């Protein structure tokens, strides 16, 4: 439901409205005048102002100011969320279930309120090229395996171009073949050609979002290995890195 | 303004409503049935579903699904945002101004719409203890200086406990004193005691969010250095890291 008259309701009625939306696990959007205190790994206080508060169906919690991409306060799910009445305000307490962290928000008035179950079964498809994946792995060889060191990417051999050539934690030479789509028998055959050319004692890992049952059987039979990768997580890694880098560079400039 | 009747408007009128809100740089919140395509460092497609779309006053852009803390699509400001009419949908095109990245959203129907200027002048105060800051620096010595290596934290000397003891890129022993609040003359005196005890050839850096003019004068006179730190950026670094780590660990589990 959307409530255009939210600003005419008493705080008590508003609290009741939020409590009801929370108990039926609806998606809640509030545009309101609020202040927020965070106590956890650090402590913070956000003075009064108009902001967007979002409580998702899984209790993910976000407070957004009128500008800036990042939320000013947030808590990952699961949270335990409770409502009470304070002096001239509704008090929203958002406690993380598994960590000693909480945000306490005092809401003084409302400009907008929405709560409803959202229907969203759409899939999210991420496309990264094999070259883009190999660039991410070059920065994060630990994603292949702990202790993995990359020696070369796009290494030319007679049998073709090897995506990643490296050394594992035990010092063994390792070939990594990346497939951005479900890997089939052709991919396994390709890896086998590389391994045969490279000689004995070489490990080979096929890295892809998925593999067909026949390809996996063929792979195991030949002593090769399969490692699943998630395109969405890969894309998140690069995006969060861009954010962290920009935070760090701002930090370094003392901003 | 909040529009409770948004679902009764024609798509043409809705497009006009959004265009008007964009041109007056209002904070826009839409709960709607949409699909989204992203083309940039990677390519992604999000199938149809009900989501929250937020366009901030500085053109920060976010699409949130009903669950999960992170947005599924987002673009940092500045963006150039335009509206057009498609077949049975409103098309929102969000182009980053300085990078070849864009999100194209097709909106088929609306459940909620809000647009207004938000008034938010509240300050955000972040409190981290000196020990917490020193923990962050231990993980990110580059925040002190490029090429900096930390040898020890909370190092006991006769003159007191040195927060961070390290070696700079040129191999010089360096003392780092952290102050979470504005540094005054007392902080400078403390660093001077450490330096005198440590002997010649030792660098000393006072790290804090701010410094009084007298303290800075005293510091320069004695050949010490000052480096500004931002509590907000520090807290963002630790929080984004928690996210990246969890993304990575999910990735490693192949999820």
Cβ of residue A105 closer than 8 Å to a chain B Cβ = no
What residue has token string 């958002």? A94
Q: What is the DSSP letter of A2?
A: B
Q: How far is A7 from chain B (nearest CA, A)?
A: 11
Rounded to the nearest 10°, the torsion over CA A33, A38, A42, A43 is 70
pLDDT, tens only, A8-23: 889 999 999 999 999 9
Task: Classify domain B130-234 at the CATH topology level.
Answer: Trna Endonuclease; Chain: A, domain 1 (3.40.1350)
Strands (E), A73-123: 73-75, 79-86, 89-96, 102-116
pLDDT, tens only, B20-66: 999 999 999 999 999 999 998 778 899 999 999 999 999 999 999 99
Kindly determine whether residue B236 and residue A70, on different chains, have CB atoms separated by under 8 Å: yes
* Residues 6 or more apart in contact with residue B65 via CB below 8 angstroms: A118, A120, B49, B51, B72
At A112 the pLDDT is 92
Q: What CATH code would you report for A6-116?
A: 2.70.180.20
- What would the two tokens of residue B59 be? 């053109």
Which among B25, B123, B118 has a CA at the least distance from the CA of B77?
B25
User: Residue B185 and residue B215: Cα distance in Å, rounded?
Assistant: 4
Q: Let me know: does A140 contact A129? Beta carbons within 8 Å.
A: no
Task: Choose among B52, B122, B244: nearest Cβ to A46.
Answer: B122
Report residue A242 CA to chain centroid gap: 14
pLDDT along chain A (255 residues), means of 10: 70 94 96 95 91 98 95 93 96 94 96 95 86 85 87 82 90 92 93 88 92 95 91 69 47 38
User: Residue B104 and residue B36: Cα distance in Å, rounded?
Assistant: 6
Identify the bridge partners of residue B79 per DSSP, sorted by sequence position.
B96
H/E run at residue B232: helix B231-252
Which among B36, B37, B77 has a CA at the least distance from the CA of B53?
B36
Q: Let me know: does B179 contact B204? Beta carbons within 8 Å.
A: no
Kindly determine whether residue B243 and residue A248, on different chains, have CB atoms separated by under 8 Å: no
Model confidence band, residue B4 (pLDDT cutoffs 50, 70, 90): low
User: Residue A69 and residue A30: Cα distance in Å, rounded?
Assistant: 18
User: Residue A41 and residue A32: Cα distance in Å, rounded?
Assistant: 26
Give the CA count within 13 Å in the CB-facing half-sphere of A246.
9
| Sign of the C-alpha dihedral computed for residues B130, B131, B135 and B141 taken in this order | positive
What residue has token string 């006009």? B16
Sequence ranges of the domains in chain B: 6-116, 130-234
Strand order in the sheet with B160-167: B149-157, B160-167, B173-178, B203-208, B225-228
Q: Let me know: does B30 contact B7? Beta carbons within 8 Å.
A: no
Helices A213-221, A185-198: axis angle to 10 degrees equals: 20
Q: What is the DSSP letter of B40?
A: S
Cβ of residue B37 closer than 8 Å to a chain A Cβ = no
- What would the two tokens of residue B91 be? 């098309």
Task: Choose among A35, A64, A122: nearest Cβ to B54.
Answer: A64
| Sign of the C-alpha dihedral computed for residues B140, B146, B148 and B153 taken in this order | negative
pLDDT, tens only, B220-254: 999 999 999 887 777 767 665 554 444 444 443 33
User: Residue A113 and residue A6: Cα distance in Å, rounded?
Assistant: 7
Identify the bridge partners of residue A116 per DSSP, sorted by sequence position.
A27
Question: What is the chain A residue with the closest CA to B127?
Answer: A43
Strands B160-167 and B43-55: unpaired
User: Residue B169 and residue B172: Cα distance in Å, rounded?
Assistant: 7
Under DSSP, is residue B172 helix (H, G, I), strand (E, B) or coil? coil
Q: What is the DSSP letter of A234?
A: H
User: Residue A192 and residue B211: Cα distance in Å, rounded?
Assistant: 63
Q: Let me know: does A41 contact B241? Beta carbons within 8 Å.
A: no
Query: Could you give the percent of chain B with pLDDT greater than 90?
Result: 59
**CA-CA distances (angstroms) from residue B247 to A72, A238, A244, B231?**
21, 11, 14, 24
- What would the two tokens of residue A43 be? 């402590």
Q: Let me know: does A31 contact A66? Beta carbons within 8 Å.
A: no
* Residues 6 or more apart in contact with residue A119 via CB below 8 angstroms: B49, B50
Kindly determine whether residue A118 and residue B77, on different chains, have CB atoms separated by under 8 Å: no
Question: What is the chain A residue with the closest CA to B46?
Answer: A124
What residue has token string 């400001």? B77
Task: Choose among A67, A111, A250: nearest Cβ to B57.
Answer: A67
Which residues of chain A does B239 touch, with a Cβ-Cβ cutoff of 8 Å?
A: 74
User: Residue B133 and residue B140: Cα distance in Å, rounded?
Assistant: 10
Average pLDDT over residues B128-149: 86
Which residues of chain A does B72 touch, with a Cβ-Cβ cutoff of 8 Å?
A: 124
Cβ of residue A145 closer than 8 Å to a chain B Cβ = no
Kindly determine whether residue A244 and residue B247, on different chains, have CB atoms separated by under 8 Å: no
Q: Let me know: does A122 contact A144? Beta carbons within 8 Å.
A: no
The count of other CB atoms within 10 Å of the CB of residue A53 is 24
Kindly determine whether residue B57 and residue A76, on different chains, have CB atoms separated by under 8 Å: no
Average pLDDT score, chain B: 87
**CA-CA distances (angstroms) from residue B146 to A252, B4, B64?**
10, 54, 37
Cβ of residue A112 closer than 8 Å to a chain B Cβ = yes
């Amino acid at each position: 439901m959307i409530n255009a008259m939210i600003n005419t309701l008493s705080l008590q009625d508003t609290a009741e409205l939020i409590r009801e939306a929370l108990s039926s696990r609806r998606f809640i959007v509030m545009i309101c005048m609020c202040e927020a205190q965070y106590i956890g790994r650090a402590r913070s206080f956000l003075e009064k102002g108009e902001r967007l508060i979002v409580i998702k169906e899984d209790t993910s919690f976000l407070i957004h100011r009128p500008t800036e991409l990042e939320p000013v306060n947030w808590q990952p799910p699961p949270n335990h969320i409770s409502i009470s009445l304070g002096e001239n305000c509704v008090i929203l307490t958002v406690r993380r279930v598994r960590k000693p962290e909480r945000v306490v928000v005092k809401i003084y008035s409302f400009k907008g309120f929405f709560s409803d179950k959202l229907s969203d079964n759409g899939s999210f498809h991420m496309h990264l090229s094999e070259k883009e994946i190999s660039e991410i792995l070059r920065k994060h060889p630990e994603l292949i395996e702990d202790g993995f060191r990359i020696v070369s990417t796009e290494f030319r051999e007679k049998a073709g171009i090897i995506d990643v050539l490296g050394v594992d934690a035990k010092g063994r030479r390792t070939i990594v073949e990346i497939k951005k789509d479900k890997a089939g028998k052709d991919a396994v055959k390709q890896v086998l050609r590389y391994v045969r050319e490279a000689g004995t004692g070489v490990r080979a890992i096929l890295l892809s979002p998925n593999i067909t049952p026949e390809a996996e059987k063929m792979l195991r039979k030949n002593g090769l290995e399969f490692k699943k990768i998630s395109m969405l997580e890969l894309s998140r890694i690069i995006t969060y890195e861009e954010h962290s880098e920009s935070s760090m560079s701002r930090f370094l400039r003392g901003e």
